[in-house]
């Protein structure tokens, strides 16, 4: 035997140490190949036995085989151990501490103006009004001309109107929806048109973008008294049964006669506060009997048909409903503030 019993013991000890040193299954597989594989130290030893005399060969063979069996068993045991360690490590890494506080999630809510708008649509639906829409980028023709607003009217001035390009504006009111809805159709009409409008005018009491709701009714017998009845019902639904309204004679090119409409300030109950400029009243919008020219511009015979229209600010109503003193606060991107609405 080229190596004596002491050498065999050393070889076994080294192989064991190499197997034991493997820190993971991959390293173990490699260590195992080095000592027990076909080109490993044990196989080399076994092949060398052929050179021994026959009586020694059998004994030496037995001894080497015994070492190989022990090493195989040791490697198997080590593999099981390493696999268990790896499972425990994975479990440890993925452990969840169910006692830790969770990550808070904020539930979204509808904005106060959106809620007012939906409420308004539902209310008018109960009176048989449909809901119509128009684009926010509008033709000057619909925003002004067809509504009987003369070329030299100050509202066309670029101080008030955002011009997108010649002939195209950001609509300054929801009234152009009147024209879009009536053109090509025949009366009677009964609709509202809520939406955003834009004006070049920003102060604590005004915002360059705000929302209006247009109301419109055309039939053969509509009167100013009907208009007042609808507006009282609307205001009292929105702001409470004690709401007071004030109609002030006014002028709009698209109505005749025309009135501006105020409601009694809800915040101070009419006593006067900063929001209503100490008057007890808040301007809400305009209204009137539809001008015959507007009907004509839409191909409708004003001898036969008549009606009323109104346009109201929606923020004003939302402010009253939520005790917000300034329109700016409605559009402040501050969640702490919005959450209170
Ligand atoms: N469009 C007007 C404005 O924004 C409001 C208005 C007044 C609308 C009278 C109407 C109306 O429909 O009849 O100032």
Write the pLDDT tens digit of every residue in 220-256. 999 999 999 999 999 999 999 999 999 999 999 999 9
> What confidence tens digit (pLDDT) does each residue in 187-219 have?
999 999 999 999 987 666 678 999 999 999 999
pLDDT at 72: 92
Residue indicated by tokens 């409605």: 330
The closest-lying atom of ligand 1 relative to the alpha carbon of residue 174 is 1
Higher per-residue confidence, 2 vs 200: 200
CA distance 62 to 102: 65
**Measuring CA to CA, how many Å separate 307 from each of 34, 41, 120, 174?**
100, 107, 20, 17
Residue 100 Cα to ligand 1 middle (Å): 57
Higher per-residue confidence, 136 vs 8: 136
- Is the CB of 140 within 6 Å of ligand 1? no
Residue indicated by tokens 């929806």: 177
Q: How confident is the model at residue 1 (pLDDT cuts 50, 70, 90)?
A: very low
> What confidence tens digit (pLDDT) does each residue in 298-314 have?
999 999 999 999 999 99
CA distance 130 to 122: 10
pTM, two decimal places? 0.71
- Is the CB of 287 within 6 Å of ligand 1? yes
Residue 174 Cα to ligand 1 middle (Å): 8
- Is the CB of 286 within 6 Å of ligand 1? yes
How many beta carbons lie within 10 A of that of residue 202, not counting itself? 12
The closest-lying atom of ligand 1 relative to the alpha carbon of residue 286 is 7
Residue 157, burial from CB neighbour count under 10 angstroms (0-12, 13-18, 19+): exposed
pLDDT(116) > 50: yes
- Is the CB of 252 within 6 Å of ligand 1? yes
Q: How confident is the model at residue 158 (pLDDT cuts 50, 70, 90)?
A: low
The closest-lying atom of ligand 1 relative to the alpha carbon of residue 175 is 1
pLDDT(40) > 50: yes
pLDDT(93) > 60: yes
Per-domain residue ranges of the chain: 5-93, 112-340
- Is the CB of 308 within 6 Å of ligand 1? no
- Is the CB of 214 within 6 Å of ligand 1? yes
Q: How confident is the model at residue 49 (pLDDT cuts 50, 70, 90)?
A: confident
- Is the CB of 177 within 6 Å of ligand 1? no
Residue 305 Cα to ligand 1 middle (Å): 20
Residue 310 Cα to ligand 1 middle (Å): 6
**Separation of CA 53 from chain center:** 89
pLDDT at 159: 65
**Structural element, H or E, at residue 136:** none
Residue indicated by tokens 């920003």: 202
Residue indicated by tokens 């830790």: 100
Listed in sequence order, the residues at least 6 apart from 202 whose beta carbon sits closer than 8 Å to its beta carbon are 208
pLDDT(2) > 60: no
Residue 313 Cα to ligand 1 middle (Å): 10
112-340 is classed CATH 3.30.930.10:
yes
Which stretches of the chain are assigned E, i.e. beta strand? Answer: 130-131, 137-139, 163-165, 168-170, 189-198, 209-219, 245-252, 255-264, 281-290, 306-313
Q: Which of 142, 153, 160, 173 should be mutated for ligand 1, with most atoms under 8 A from CB?
A: 173
- Is the CB of 148 within 6 Å of ligand 1? no
Higher per-residue confidence, 325 vs 255: 255
Q: Under DSSP, is residue 123 helix (H, G, I), strand (E, B) or coil?
A: helix
């Amino acid at each position: 035997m080229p190596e004596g019993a002491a050498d065999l013991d050393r070889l076994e000890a080294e192989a064991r140490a190499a197997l034991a040193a493997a820190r993971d299954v991959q390293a173990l597989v490699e260590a195992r190949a080095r000592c027990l594989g076909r080109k490993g130290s044990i196989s080399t030893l076994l092949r060398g036995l052929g050179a021994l005399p026959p009586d020694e060969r059998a004994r030496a063979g037995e001894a080497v085989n015994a070492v190989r069996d022990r090493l195989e068993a040791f490697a198997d045991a080590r593999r099981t151990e390493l696999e268990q360690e790896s499972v425990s490590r994975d479990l440890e890494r993925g452990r969840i501490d169910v006692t830790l506080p969770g990550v808070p999630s904020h539930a979204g809510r509808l904005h106060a103006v959106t809620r007012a708008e939906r409420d308004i649509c539902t209310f008018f639906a109960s009176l048989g009004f449909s809901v119509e829409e128009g684009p926010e980028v509008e033709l000057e023709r619909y925003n002004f001309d067809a509504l009987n607003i003369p070329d030299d009217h100050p509202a066309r001035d670029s101080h008030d109107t955002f011009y997108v390009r010649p002939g195209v504006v950001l609509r300054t009111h929801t009234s152009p929806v009147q024209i879009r809805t009536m053109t090509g159709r025949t009366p009677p009409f009964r609709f509202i048109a809520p939406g955003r409008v834009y004006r070049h005018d920003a102060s604590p009491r005004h915002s360059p973008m705000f929302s209006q709701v247009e109301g419109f009714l055309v039939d053969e017998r509509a009167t100013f008294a009907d208009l007042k009845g609808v507006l009282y019902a609307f205001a009292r639904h929105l702001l409470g049964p004690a709401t007071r309204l004030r109609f002030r004679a006014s002028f709009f090119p698209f109505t005749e006669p025309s009135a501006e409409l105020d409601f009694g300030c809800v915040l101070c109950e009419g006593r006067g506060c900063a929001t209503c400029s100490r008057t007890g009243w808040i301007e809400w919008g305009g209204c009137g009997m539809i001008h015959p020219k507007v009907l004509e511009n839409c191909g409708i015979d004003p001898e036969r048909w008549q009606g009323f229209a109104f346009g109201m600010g929606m923020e004003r109503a939302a402010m009253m409903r939520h005790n917000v003193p300034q329109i700016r606060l409605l559009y402040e991107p501050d969640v702490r503030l919005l959450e209170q609405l």
